[in-house]
Amino acid sequence: MKSRTAWTQTIPVRSALGLNILAASLLARTASRFASDITVQCHGVHADAKRALSLLTLAAVAGSILVVRAQGRDAAEAMRAILRLFRFTPPLTRSANRALAGPLPPESVHKQRWKPQCGTVHGT
């Protein structure tokens, strides 16, 4: 039986990229470790914190405020883990994100003509 105790916390989205797929998947993976029901609200839209695609429907951009609610027997531990995830994840700038992605391919790759790999393209 789940406890009626609920924990609610507001968390600002500090990343310049907003709540993108990487952040959503990290949050979903963290939330999935707990038995509690965990929801996230942003701009009046609710999402299941254990599902990355559900989190993406929030369309949380930089500066948005997330309202995280955890309810269940391990709600306090779940909330601590989620807060730790947001607190210790430094805000990323677009230049930092590019640095994490690695170097761009050589210029010759961009100049190659694209050819379809699977069959032909109609109208060419």
What are the extents of the domains in the chain?
6-111
d(CA 62, CA 42): 12
Question: The whole model's pTM is what?
Answer: 0.68
Tens digit of pLDDT for each residue in 61-112?
999 999 999 999 999 999 999 999 887 554 444 444 444 444 444 444 444 4
pLDDT digits (tens, 9 = 90+) for 12-61: 998 888 999 999 999 999 999 999 999 999 999 999 999 999 999 999 99
Confidence of residue 124 (pLDDT cuts 50, 70, 90): very low
For the four alpha carbons of 45, 26, 65 and 96, in that order, the dihedral sign comes to: negative
Q: Which of 32, 41, 34, 38 is nearest to 7 (CA)?
A: 38
Pick the CATH number of 6-111 from 3.40.50.450, 3.30.160.250, 3.90.650.10, 3.30.1340.10: 3.30.1340.10
Which residue in this structure is represented by tokens 């968390």?
11
